[in-house]
């Protein structure tokens, strides 16, 4: 826990402010929910989106972010993460600091809603999920790091066990849909689009916002 004297903390943090510490892959979506539901007292900070590929980095970075937020004077903190491959280790550090998170194993689950995700479990066993973020960053997150632009033969090695691309669309954007369709075609997979919106992220942020300390 932080050793900073509460009396020495910054007094610029409003008493009703909520610090949300989120995955960088959710930044645009959290800001959209914040604006749509007038959650003006939510203050967002993000950990690097690339931690999606390095889940072992999430837990120590999250703890440091929580300690910084406490030092800055935030009493209410919320984690804009699901488990995200940490194998329960994220929950342990969040419990230690009294911080809640979005429910579910990953964003692909909470975007659909946990009930819908559970119901589609077997049917989606061999699917490759895409979201709005992953459509926008498909080249940066998949094509270039995996070397598929230089060695297209690797597509079979990386994606040969998948059957379909499932695009979980947060917004109804034809350009992003085209990216997902093109990705499925390039990977040689079937394509399905589901307009999920922000799913369980909305009620989670509303609950976090409702738990703020009143001035």
Q: Is the pTM of this model over 0.75?
A: yes
pLDDT score of 11? 55
Report whether pLDDT(92) > 70.
yes
Per-residue model confidence (pLDDT) at position 149: 87
**CA distances from residue 3 to 6, 8, 10, 19 in whole angstroms, order as listed:** 9, 11, 14, 19
pLDDT digits (tens, 9 = 90+) for 11-20: 567 778 999 9
Question: Hey, what domains does the chain have and what are their CATH numbers?
Answer: 6-105+199-210 (3.40.50), 114-195 (no CATH)
DSSP result, 89-151? HHHHHHHHHT-EE-SSSSHHHHHH-HHHHHHTTTTTTTEEEEEHHHHHTHIIIIIHHHTTTT-
First to last CA, the chain: 24
Task: Pull the structure tokens for residue 63.
Answer: 């703890």
Cβ-contact 63, 97 below 8 angstroms? yes
């Amino acid at each position: 826990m932080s050793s900073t004297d509460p009396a020495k903390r910054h007094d610029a943090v409003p008493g009703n402010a909520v610090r949300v510490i989120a995955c960088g892959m959710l930044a645009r979506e959290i800001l959209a929910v914040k604006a749509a539901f007038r959650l003006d007292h939510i203050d967002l900070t993000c950990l690097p989106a690339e931690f999606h590929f390095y889940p072992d980095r999430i837990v120590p970075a999250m703890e440091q972010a929580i300690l910084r937020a406490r030092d800055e004077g935030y009493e209410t903190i919320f984690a804009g993460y699901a488990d995200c491959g940490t194998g329960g280790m994220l929950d342990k550090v969040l419990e230690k600091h009294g911080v809640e998170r979005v429910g579910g194993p990953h964003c692909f689950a909470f975007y659909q809603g946990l009930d819908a995700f559970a119901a589609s479990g077997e049917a989606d066993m061999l699917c490759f999920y895409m979201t709005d973020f992953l459509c926008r960053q498909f080249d940066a997150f998949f094509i270039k790091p995996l070397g598929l632009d230089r060695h297209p033969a690797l597509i079979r090695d990386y994606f040969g066990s998948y059957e379909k691309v499932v695009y979980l669309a947060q917004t109804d954007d034809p350009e992003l849909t085209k990216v997902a369709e093109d990705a499925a075609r390039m990977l040689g997979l079937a394509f399905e689009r589901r307009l999920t919106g922000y799913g369980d992220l909305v009620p989670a942020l509303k609950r976090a916002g409702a738990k703020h300390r009143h001035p």
